[in-house]
Chain A
Amino acid sequence: MIVEVSDLIQLEAALLDDCRYAEWIELFTDDCLYWVPVSPEMQSPRDGPSHFRDDRQVMMVRTHRLANPRSFGAEPSPRTVHIISGIRIEESTPEEIHVSSSQIMLEYRNRGRFEEDQRAFGGRVRHRLLRTAEGLRIAEKRIDLINAEGAFNAMAAPL
């Protein structure tokens, strides 16, 4: 099972890094949650505002927008690489698997500003996976950035 799970987590990150967003969204269930809270203490996105609090629709808009040359916030488009380690299954039932991993995403946008153009986002990522007729799907991805409480500059690429 760990191989199957780990393949999915790596595939998800690779699709993001390759900007294959439509395929990325296909990995998620219809009523999924993609969530980057402002504190590791948050239990639910209803507890307070979030950096990202996306359902599938918002994920669609976000990624559609990334492909649009007029989205200034993403001009030039970010290039990313995810580095994943410590994939662990925390809980599993026949229908559901809770996975955690440590991830760093390096992001680069060439704005001619030297080191400022590259940023690192890192933290603990939790996936809740569901077994569906189509195979293993992501019902929830929660990213607890180590600097979750901090202020961020514009973020265009999903983490």
Chain B
Amino acid sequence: MVIAELNPQFLVRAGEVHRSVYTDPAIFKLEMERIFGRAWLYLAHESEVPEPGDYVVRHMGTQAVILTRGKSGGIETIFNRCSHRGATLCAFEKGSAPHGHQCPYHGWTFNADGTVRFVSNASNYDGVLDEADYAISQVRTETYRGFIFGNLAGHAAPPLGDFLGHMKSTIDDLVDRSPTGKIEVGKYQLRHYYRANWKMTFENLNDTIHPGFAHSASVVSAKSVLAEVGRDNIVPTVGMMLANGKPIQFFQDLDMVTTPGGHSYIGGHMGADYTPDTADAYTQSLMDFHGPEKAKQVLSVDRHLMLLYPSSFWHARYQTIRIIRPVRHDLTEMIGFTFKLVGAPEETHVNAIEYCTGANSAASPVIADDLEIYERCLLGNEYDRREWIPMSRGLNEDRERGNSITRTPATSEAYIRNQFAAWADYMGKAS
């Protein structure tokens, strides 16, 4: 496909999408400009860079940026690219550079905000190079409750709050679960990758019909072990596999919520029966912090994964956030982070860790099945003359349609249609 022909109205229809959105490198390139170049992307949590000079490197689509805690305490975000000859500045994903980021090639050094701190052999440039012209470009960021988001469109982008809309409530749900109002990122991250398009994950994670098929082997195996050891002795990981065997009616009865911008979540988490109930000590500490009313309300929020289009996945109850890193149209990385609710029993973080392991490890039986499926879909979409992929499940089943949220049964593909509505909107605007 030639870019000039690429008009999203030809690729997205009411209940169908053209398969080239998964297979065409030219479309991927345009997605990086028009979607990842315009949407607010979750980058990092403030607790990842506690001290001045602390930094982390993150991706915004295919571009890498450095987030550094500056001397004045604010967080600065710049591209991870030396403005001399373009060498990558930071080779590590995290570290401390209190004296600025020095390029390994000719030693040019930059402050956290990208301004030039040092140019080697400056006298050779006498009068011909103005350091002010070589400040590394900054990326616009905004923070919501400690979570830092970046936007490559700079001032052309709407405020973060508008982008999040109703989905702020899931972020609130995560932070409000802390009995001190503070959360802290876990030290270790867990990554997997697959050889297929980034959108596959977005379309799979709230797909409630596939587990009964794609994960049936995990369910069968979990049941056989259940029969051997007894329900009371089931460990959480095995419980999580069993949760994939829930009857379809369970999901038909649940609500799926979609919001403008391609975001969605499912109400009612699939794993209600696989985590130990919130410990009494934790509930008490939450009541002390919020007061009994609010504490009750916080604990009653019961949401499965929130998909924040186009780059992150939030599980408030299990304090896990995953970030997607599209590498090529046929290569994608997923990075999982856990969070500690400061002041909560250590066991709470252990639950989050268990969830993250089950939900993001390439060795998790459930994820291994999903990754295999993503790759098969990429392969299959390269051939046959059938070019359109249906996304019409539940097309006429909306339960509530509003400007800020739409409710459908959780079995619906409404969330995929909603993603492609956002996709077409981003992709359709040339500038």
Note all chain A residues with C-beta closer than 8 A to B218. 61, 65, 71
CB nearest neighbor in A for B374: A154
Q: Do residues B365 and A71 form an inter-chain contact, with CB atoms below 8 A? A: yes
Segment of A2-10, A47-55, A91-99 engaged in the interface with chain B: A47-55
Q: Do residues A38 and B188 form an inter-chain contact, with CB atoms below 8 A? A: yes
Note all chain A residues with C-beta closer than 8 A to B333. 151
Note all chain A residues with C-beta closer than 8 A to B224. 61, 64
CB contact between B235 and one of A55, A70, A73, A150 (< 8 Å): that residue: A55
Most buried by B among A45, A47, A48, A155: A48
For the complex, give the distance between the alpha carbons of A71 and B319 in Å. Answer: 29
Note all chain A residues with C-beta closer than 8 A to B334. 151
Q: Is A156 positioned at the interface, with any CB of B under 8 Å from its CB?
A: yes
Q: A46-B350, A49-B361 given as contacts; is B368 within 8 A of A73 (CB)?
A: yes
Interface string of A56-93 (1 = CB under 8 A from B): 01101110110010111111000000000000000000
Note all chain B residues with C-beta closer than 8 A to A65. 217-218, 220-221, 365
Note all chain A residues with C-beta closer than 8 A to B190. 38, 48-51
For the complex, give the distance between the alpha carbons of A33 and B371 in Å. Answer: 26
Q: Which residues of A contact B (CB under 8 A)?
A: 36, 38-39, 42, 45-55, 57-58, 60-62, 64-65, 68, 70-75, 116, 149-156
For the complex, give the distance between the alpha carbons of A39 and B192 in Å. Answer: 14
Q: Do residues A73 and B365 form an inter-chain contact, with CB atoms below 8 A? A: yes
Interface string of B351-390 (1 = CB under 8 A from A): 0011011001111010111111100100000000000000
For the complex, give the distance between the alpha carbons of A47 and B187 in Å. Answer: 8
Q: Is B229 positioned at the interface, with any CB of A under 8 Å from its CB?
A: yes
Given A61-B365, A71-B368, A152-B191, 19 extra CB contacts under 8 A: A45-B353, A46-B349, A46-B350, A48-B189, A51-B361, A57-B229, A60-B228, A61-B222, A61-B241, A71-B217, A71-B365, A72-B369, A75-B372, A150-B191, A152-B192, A152-B361, A152-B362, A153-B194, A153-B371
Q: Do residues A61 and B238 form an inter-chain contact, with CB atoms below 8 A? A: yes
CB nearest neighbor in A for B335: A151
> What DSSP secondary structure best describes chain A's contact surface?
mixed
Q: Do residues A155 and B346 form an inter-chain contact, with CB atoms below 8 A? A: no
For the complex, give the distance between the alpha carbons of A74 and B362 in Å. Answer: 12
Q: Is B216 positioned at the interface, with any CB of A under 8 Å from its CB?
A: yes
Distance to closest chain A CB from B84 (angstroms):
29
Note all chain B residues with C-beta closer than 8 A to A60. 225, 228
Q: Do residues B191 and A61 form an inter-chain contact, with CB atoms below 8 A? A: no
CB nearest neighbor in B for A46: B350
For the complex, give the distance between the alpha carbons of A72 and B189 in Å. Answer: 26
For the complex, give the distance between the alpha carbons of A154 and B367 in Å. Answer: 7
Q: A153-B192, A153-B193, A155-B362 given as contacts; is B368 within 8 A of A57 (CB)?
A: no
For the complex, give the distance between the alpha carbons of A65 and B241 in Å. Answer: 11
Distance to closest chain A CB from B281 (angstroms):
18
Q: Do residues A57 and B234 form an inter-chain contact, with CB atoms below 8 A? A: yes
| 30 residue pairs bridging A and B, Cβ less than 8 Å apart | A36-B363, A46-B349, A47-B188, A48-B186, A48-B188, A48-B189, A48-B353, A49-B189, A49-B360, A51-B362, A52-B361, A52-B363, A55-B235, A57-B225, A57-B233, A57-B237, A61-B222, A62-B365, A65-B218, A65-B365, A70-B217, A71-B217, A71-B368, A72-B372, A73-B368, A151-B191, A153-B195, A154-B367, A154-B371, A155-B363
Q: Do residues B363 and A48 form an inter-chain contact, with CB atoms below 8 A? A: no
For the complex, give the distance between the alpha carbons of A58 and B222 in Å. Answer: 9
CB nearest neighbor in B for A57: B235
For the complex, give the distance between the alpha carbons of A153 and B195 in Å. Answer: 8
- CB neighbors of A among B176-198 (8 A): 186-195
Q: Is B336 positioned at the interface, with any CB of A under 8 Å from its CB?
A: yes
Note all chain B residues with C-beta closer than 8 A to A42. 188
CB contact between A49 and one of B216, B221, B241, B338 (< 8 Å): that residue: B338
For the complex, give the distance between the alpha carbons of A52 and B364 in Å. Answer: 7
For the complex, give the distance between the alpha carbons of A51 and B189 in Å. Answer: 10
For the complex, give the distance between the alpha carbons of A72 and B194 in Å. Answer: 14
Distance to closest chain B CB from A40 (angstroms):
11
Q: Is B424 positioned at the interface, with any CB of A under 8 Å from its CB?
A: no
CB nearest neighbor in B for A152: B362
Note all chain B residues with C-beta closer than 8 A to A75. 372
Distance to closest chain B CB from A57 (angstroms):
5
CB nearest neighbor in A for B188: A48
Distance to closest chain B CB from A110 (angstroms):
14
For the complex, give the distance between the alpha carbons of A155 and B363 in Å. Answer: 5
Q: A48-B338, A61-B218 given as contacts; is B368 within 8 A of A155 (CB)?
A: yes
Q: Do residues B361 and A156 form an inter-chain contact, with CB atoms below 8 A? A: no
Distance to closest chain B CB from A70 (angstroms):
4
Most buried by B among A39, A53, A65, A116: A65
Distance to closest chain A CB from B1 (angstroms):
25
